[in-house]
Amino acid sequence: MTEIDPELKAGYRLMPRFVIGSRNVKLFRRLVGPMVKLTGKPDLGGLAVGEIPVPGTDRTMVTVRRATSTELAPVLFWIHGGGYVMGSNETEHRWGARFCRDIDCAFVAPGYRLAPEHPFPAGLDDLRAAITWVLDHGAAHGLDPTRIVVAGESAGGGLAAALVQRLHDEGVSLGGQLLVYPMLDDRTAVRADVELKEHLAWSNASNHFGWTSYLGTEPGGDTTPDYAVPARRSDLTGLPPAWIGVGDLDLFHDENLEYARRLEEAGVPVTLETAEGAPHGFPFMAEEAAISQRFLTSAVDFTARTFAD
C-alpha cells in the first residue's frame, strides 16, 4: 500500500480516528464548521460572497464570485460533502475562492436536506430545485444558465453525478461534471476486502452508515432506486464530459476509477486525476503541498476549458 505523501502527513497525524454513526452524527454536524476552519481561513479579498434563497424551499445558495465582474458568469454549481449525513454549504468558501480567483465564474453552493432524517430522494430533490432556479432565473442575478458545470466533493460528488444523470434524462444540457473523490457506489460499504484497510478521514464503517442513512436500507442490495446510486446506472452514454479526481489511499479510489472507465467506455470524455499518497479530503489539509496544487490546478483547468467550449 502506498505511503501517505510526506507533505500531507502532519495534517492527518492530528486528525482523530472516528466512525460516524447514529449516536454521534449530530455532534459531528456541529463540529464540521470548526474542523474546516482548522485547515485555514480562505482569502476572500476581491471576491463577493452572498446568499440566494431558493423559492418554495427553506434552502439557500451560497455564492462566491469576483466583486468586479459585470458580465454573465458561467456557473460552477458546487455540492458540499459529508457522507450524505452532515456538512453545510456555508463551509465551502475555500473551494469557491480557489475557482473564482483563477476563473471569472460564479461559484454557487446550494444547501440540501441530510439523511437519515431526510433519506433519498430529499437531498437530490433540493438540488434539482436549486439548479432549476439557476436555469430559469439565474440570468437576472448575473449567472449564465447556458454554461454550467455541476460539481461536488465526496458525497457532494456523488450527488453531482446523480443530478447530472437526472438532468440528462430530463433533457437538460450541461457543460460538464467535476467529481472530487465522489461517493458513488453503495456496494463499497459491504466489501469485505476493504474492511481490512485503514482509510483516513472516511472509513468504510462511516461509509456504511452514510449509505444506510441515505438509502433507508442496507447498502449493497440487488437493486436501488434510479439516481440514488450513480455507479449503479447501466447506461452512461450521452452524459457530459467528466473530471474525476481521487487519491490512491482514498476509500473511494476503486469505485471512482471504475466509474471513469465506464464513462469512457460509453464515449464520455473523461479527465482522470489520481493522486499518489493521498487520503480522502486531502487538498485543503495542506493546500500548498505540491500534490494538492497539482490536483486543484487540474480541477480548475478542466472547469476553465469546459466554460470556454
The residues carrying an active-site annotation are: 154, 250, 280
How is 282-300 classified by DSSP, letter by letter?
A: -TTTSTTSHHHHHHHHHHH
Q: Up-side HSE of residue 40: CA atoms within 13 Å toward CB?
A: 13
Distance CA 306, CA 309 (A): 5
Helix axes 290-308, 93-102, angle to 10 degrees: 60
| Helix/strand/coil for 184 | coil
Query: Which stretches within the chain are classed as H helix?
Result: 9-13, 25-37, 93-102, 122-137, 155-169, 204-215, 253-265, 290-308
Tell me the C-alpha to C-alpha distance, in Å, between residue 118 and each of 42, 86, 126, 192, 221. 31, 11, 11, 28, 20
Beta-ladder partners of 56: none
Strand order in the sheet with 176-180: 47-53, 60-66, 106-110, 73-79, 143-153, 176-180, 242-247, 270-275
Virtual CA dihedral for 107, 112, 115, 119, nearest 10 degrees? -120
Write the single-letter amino acid at 117.
E
Q: Is the CB of residue 284 less than 8 Å from the CB of residue 39?
A: yes
Distance CA 76, CA 143 (A): 10
DSSP 81: -
Closest CA to 176 of 48, 52, 300, 50: 300
